[in-house]
Amino acid sequence: MFKKKIRHIQRYHDIVYAFTRYGFGFVMKELGLLDLLSVPRRLFVEGNKTLHSKTTGERIRLFLEDLGPTFIKIGQIASTRPDIIPAEIVHELVKLQDQVPPFSFEEVKRIVEQEFVEPMENLYAEFSETPLAGASIGQVHYAVLLTGERVAVKIQRPRINEVIETDLEILQDLARLAESRLDWAERYQIRDIVEELRKSLRMELDYVSEGRNSEKIAKQFKNNPKIVIPKIYWENTTSKVLTMEFIEGIKLNEASMLHQAGYESKVLAERVVNAIFQQILVEGFFHGDPHPGNILALPGEVIAFMDFGIVGRLTSEMKTHIASFVIAMMNQSTDEVVRTISNMGLVPDDVNPVKLRVDVDELRVKYSNVPFSQMSLADAINDLFSVAFRHRIQMPTDLTILGKTLLTMEGVVEKLDPELSIIKIAEPFGRKLVLDRLNPKNVAGKVWSHFFEYGELLNDLPKTVKDFTSVMKKGKIKIEITTPELDSLLTKLNRISNRLSFSIVLLSFSIIMVGVIIGASLSGHTSVLLSKIPAIEIGFAIATTMFLWLLYSIFKSGRF
């Protein structure tokens, strides 16, 4: 571990330097890293002066872009988490650009040949040296297979895996340090957020995983000729090289080209919405980043989806929660909405239920009188995540990917057909989801599955009871009681016992001294021993010392 930290020291310095330059040096200062890494104090001041006119979100975006591929991807992934990141920062994160210089064809050839352990000429009949597109993690080249198929080959950037792993290790160290020193970092569980980002990044670095995602989505539309998903050529694919069918089309954000080619924008918009709702609400496995660059229009208003590095999954349980949410909103039931949100997310123990209910009630009222045709899906999702953020309700990752997918989809469709009602198209899908949930066959199936669970529980019950009684006989059961009044009660009992001890010692002191004095007076004379030893004075001194010591102890405890 220590060797790793030494090896990463320059990268540590770069990251801390960037924090300071973009006005976040106070975080590094609180973590004690400014002095440790010898960052100039003048930079701490100048960094804030230079960027004082920019918003926090803008500075965060510039900071991430400055630190390169890992941090850009982290920012892009973080933009899908409006439940844990303020809306104004998410707004800036979605603008993150990963425009990085392309790497050389020599590097491309080296990576391909290293992955397949044979010359490139044995794999491709033709391979363009100029990339079609590039990003922070990889770039895409046009090629032709030996069998004649036209393909697009995505090659991972050289040593990007090592760069990302180094940055992630540093971020995990910083998160651990932050949680130990900063209350807000512990409250928002920064380490868990970094761990989630790590998993997402590693998934994007695995092109085999992306290929599998692509095939899974393709199966959803095997009987729909209007939706195309690129074919994956597995014999030419590894974790760092992905070879897929080359699809030539027009990106949906190129409005003028679509118009010149004679495409019907309304038809394109409807097909995009229907395809995405099919993935989400029917299949439960969907494209996690359907931005315009990842969707192409082909002749006949055919839609092609590309790039499945990020996908979302909805379990049957999560789809049930979504159905419950829809029903609760339709029934105008605030309590049901709160209950559904609690079931869908991770509600913190210290959440204020009264304030949460008030916020949800305001949300319900806001959309209660809005016709479905006029409702903005983006606004509704943003409002829901704002409530989650305000109460620190951390939504499951797939649910936030769902939110980002719907928001992105609405942005794409709005440019194609501003009058299209996404909610209206979603209505039959939502109705089917609700009906599926209430379908007697599905209900019976759920009851049947629970029946087996309860059967196993009942089967284990005798053994559980036997173990419990065995522990009881051994007297090993511990009972922990925590009540707000218990501390106060114990404090009062402590004070009473201290006062009682004080009274007993005082009484004993009085009895001893009175006995000695009376005995000496009645005898009329003192014994030889008493005449030589000042017993009364010594007794008085000892008793006084004990009395003062006990009195000091009681007062020092503060519970007298």
Which positions are catalytic?
289
- The three-state secondary structure class of 126 is strand
Contacts of residue 516, Cβ cutoff 8 Å, sequence gap at least 6: 535, 536, 539
Q: Alpha carbon 48 to chain centroid distance?
A: 29
Please give, one letter per residue, the 3-state secondary structure of 529-552. HHHHCCHHHHHHHHHHHHHHHHHH
241-245 vs 150-156, strand pairing mode: antiparallel
Angle in degrees, 0-180, between the axes of helices 265-277 and 397-416, rounded to the nearest 10? 170
- The three-state secondary structure class of 287 is strand
Please name the amino acid found at residue 259: H
Contacts of residue 211, Cβ cutoff 8 Å, sequence gap at least 6: 232, 234, 237, 242, 244
d(CA 321, CA 346): 13
CA separation, residue 126 to residues 120, 149, 170 (Å): 9, 10, 41
CA separation, residue 433 to residues 91, 319, 324, 485 (Å): 31, 8, 10, 48
Query: Count of CB atoms within 10 A of residue 366's CB?
Result: 12
Please name the amino acid found at residue 454: Y
Q: Which two tokens stand for residue 21?
A: 């330059």
d(CA 264, CA 268): 6
Please name which of 507, 517, 551, 521 lies closest in space to residue 537, comparing C-alpha atoms: 517
CA separation, residue 431 to residues 281, 309, 375 (Å): 10, 30, 17
